[in-house]
A = this chain, B = another copy of it.
Amino acid sequence: MTGASEGAAGRPELSRGKVLQKALELADARGIAALSIRSLAQSIGTKPMSLYYYVANKEEILDGLVDLVFAEISTPQAGREWKEQMRRRAHSAREVLRRHPWAIGLLESRKVPGPETLKHHEATLATLRAGGFTVEQTARAYSLLDSYIYGFALQEAGLPVSGGEPMAQVAAPIMERFATGEYPYLVEIATQVVMQPDYDYGNEFGYGLELILEALKPASAG
């Protein structure tokens, strides 16, 4: 009963899942740079080397994190209207990547996709195919949609967190260099759109997404 499995008393009971879960929390809370084996072990309440029983190395933890993030993205359902399904998925993906911005940087160096990642891709492909896209059209549509989603998330991650007025903060130091009049168009866009009090870059996501969804079409020519 009080074996290595179920924690009967106060035993926290370590497991691969718990390691990854805590790693995700730590990355969210303190940033991916602060995710070290030692800090992770401490936040779990164990010792550094104990983690290596559940995980081969740190790379494997990062792989697991990316897979966890993919698992959070809402899975589209084949058979339903493809456009609405893709819209839902895209917005969900953006939200997830905004919650875990560090995951974007991780994507660049990941080699093997995890099981949840594969499941997600499978469901997305199924939805497009069921929507009437040919195999080739599906490949292109998927590439286009995901490129937009990842790219938007990447740009969003390069901004100061998000909220009411942080745009003025990122713009201010740059504005000084602008005093020279070197960058009139950057000044224009900064003052006339970005620094407007109610401007939220996140809202631009929908614009580009709709434009792409509108232009995508199954059947006939590609």
List residues of A whose CB falls within 8 A of some B CB: 101-102, 104-113, 115, 118-119, 121-122, 125-126, 129, 135-136, 138-140, 143-144, 146-152, 154-155, 157-158, 173-174, 177, 182-186, 188-189, 192-194, 201, 204, 207-208, 211-212, 214-216
Contact = CB atoms under 8 A, between A and B. Distances in A.
17 contacts: A101-B108, A102-B108, A108-B154, A108-B157, A118-B183, A121-B186, A122-B186, A129-B188, A135-B188, A138-B189, A139-B204, A140-B208, A143-B155, A143-B204, A148-B148, A148-B151, A151-B152
Contacts of A184: 122
B112 A173 contact: yes
Contacts of A108: 101-102, 104-105, 154, 157-158
A217 to B, nearest CB: 10
What 3 A-B pairs have minimum CB-CB distances, sorted nearest first? A151-B151, A147-B151, A125-B185
B125 A189 contact: yes
A7 to B, nearest CB: 32
A104 B154 contact: yes
Contact of A186 (B104, B125, B173, B207): B125
B138 A177 contact: no
Contact of A105 (B105, B149, B204): B105
Contact of A135 (B105, B111, B193): B193
A186 B107 contact: no
Contacts of A119: 183
Contact of A107 (B118, B154, B215): B154
Contacts of A126: 185
A109 B118 contact: no
Contacts of A147: 147-148, 151-152, 154-155, 208
A152 B156 CA distance: 16
A193 B139 contact: yes
